């Protein structure tokens, strides 16, 4: 009796239950994947519609201020212009504070002195010898102008271009001088002052040993408003020194500029102070914005530039 009762349960209930379970599982599996596919297609469609409707509004949004200027600075200047005074002041304040905690940065008084010149001249044509910690600051303070950097290390130029984006206009320069050669270079420049090393000339074709002749040709035709000499390195006898940079800045200011502010950093060192007196001249020095480690000169070009001599009176100090 028990077997008769249990038989139908096994033959009828269990097989039908298994068959139903497999069908339900099969149906639920197909339904699940159908729902997933519909959800995926729906999401893609919504994202496409959303991005399509957003694109026009993002293009119409006002541009973000990036302070990036470069070779196309004329177009940047038209859209941006000089920095607002409070932004300019904030950048200088933070840069000066950062420099106080770093030996690789300029002293605060030098940063503020250079900034005071850029406040008066920017947006302008700014030429900077040397890349360094202040590179982003000089670019930012001259927002709307053209800022060009020159450095003796091509690898560092490539690194800075990658770090600061395509807006950075920088070129490497090959220097053929050394700090130990200062006396000989000065003697040679004085001997050919009215020939190869004259004050007014196109440096691209110059035969003077102090002339920088390997810049992009177009840079020699620019009327530079401000030139900052903060490179190349000059801390060792074998370093290139800044003799060529100071001489070339003096010639470019007289040849193409009308009035050029030339600032020489590390002015307390012999090369910088001697060459600045020789080629930029004490009569052009601006005491109010000079510091113990920064020399500031205003050099006049055009008709006001002397054709035979750099200075009205020769420099009195001779390099040893």
Supply the pTM of this predicted model: 0.74
Residue 85 to residue 92: CA distance in whole angstroms: 11
Q: Where in the chain does DSSP place strands (E)?
A: 125-129, 146-151, 169-172, 226-229, 259-265, 294-300
Nearest CA-CA partner of 202 in 215, 187, 220: 220
CB neighbour list of residue 282: distance below 8 Å, 6 or more residues apart: 311, 313, 315
Residue 151 phi/psi, 5° resolution?
A: -145, 150
121-163 tens-digit pLDDT = 999 999 999 999 999 999 999 999 999 999 999 999 999 999 9
Structure tokens at 54: 């957003």
| pLDDT recorded at residue 78 | 40
Residue 219 to residue 124: CA distance in whole angstroms: 14
* Cβ atoms of 271 and 182 closer than 8 Å: yes
* Cβ atoms of 310 and 255 closer than 8 Å: no
CB neighbour list of residue 92: distance below 8 Å, 6 or more residues apart: 111, 112, 115, 137, 141
Residue 29 to residue 15: CA distance in whole angstroms: 21
Put the strands of the sheet holding 294-300 in their side by side order.
169-172, 146-151, 125-129, 226-229, 259-265, 294-300
Residue 249 to residue 112: CA distance in whole angstroms: 22
Rounded to a whole number of angstroms, the distance between the first and last alpha carbons of the chain is 129
* Cβ atoms of 272 and 239 closer than 8 Å: no
| pLDDT recorded at residue 91 | 94
| pLDDT recorded at residue 123 | 97
| pLDDT recorded at residue 2 | 42
* Cβ atoms of 116 and 93 closer than 8 Å: no
Residues making up the chain, counted from first to last: 320
CATH code, residues 73-304 = 3.40.50.150
| pLDDT recorded at residue 69 | 34
Torsion angle in degrees (nearest 10) through CA of 204, 206, 210, 211: -10
212-239 tens-digit pLDDT = 999 999 999 999 999 999 999 999 999 9
- The stretches in the chain having pLDDT less than 70 are 1-80, 314-320
| pLDDT recorded at residue 287 | 93
**Domain spans of the chain, in order of start:** 1-61, 73-304
| pLDDT recorded at residue 316 | 57
Please state, as a whole number, how many other Cβ atoms lie within 10 Å of the Cβ of residue 228.
Answer: 25
């Amino acid at each position: 009796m028990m077997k008769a009762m249990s038989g139908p349960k096994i033959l009828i209930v269990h097989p039908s239950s298994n068959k139903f379970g497999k069908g339900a599982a099969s149906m639920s599996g197909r339904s699940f994947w159908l729902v997933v596919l519909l959800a995926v297609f729906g999401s893609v469609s919504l994202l496409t519609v959303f991005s399509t409707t957003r694109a026009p509004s993002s293009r119409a949004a006002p541009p973000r201020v990036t302070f990036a200027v470069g070779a196309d600075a004329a177009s940047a200047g038209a859209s941006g212009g000089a920095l607002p005074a409070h932004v300019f002041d904030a950048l200088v304040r933070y840069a000066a504070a950062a420099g106080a905690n770093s030996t690789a940065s300029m002293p605060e008084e030098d940063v503020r002195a250079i900034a005071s010149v850029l406040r008066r001249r920017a947006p302008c044509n700014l030429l900077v010898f040397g890349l360094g910690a202040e590179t982003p600051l000089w670019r930012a303070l001259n927002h709307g102008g053209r800022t060009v950097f020159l450095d003796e290390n091509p690898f560092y130029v490539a690194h800075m271009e990658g770090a600061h984006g395509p807006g950075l206009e920088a070129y490497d320069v090959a220097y053929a001088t050394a700090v130990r050669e200062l006396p000989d270079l000065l003697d040679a420049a004085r001997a050919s002052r009215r020939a190869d090393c004259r004050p007014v000339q196109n440096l691209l074709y110059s035969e003077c040993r102090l002339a920088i002749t390997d810049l992009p040709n177009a840079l020699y035709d620019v009327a530079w408003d401000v030139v900052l000499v903060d490179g190349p390195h000059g801390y060792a006898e074998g370093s290139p020194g800044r003799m060529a940079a100071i001489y070339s800045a003096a010639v470019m200011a007289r040849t193409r500029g009308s009035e050029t502010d030339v600032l020489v950093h590390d002015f307390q060192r012999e090369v910088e102070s001697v060459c600045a007196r020789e080629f930029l001249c004490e009569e052009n020095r601006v005491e109010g914005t000079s510091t113990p480690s920064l020399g500031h000169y205003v050099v006049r070009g055009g008709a006001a530039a002397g054709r035979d001599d750099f200075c009205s009176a020769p420099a009195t100090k001779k390099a040893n």
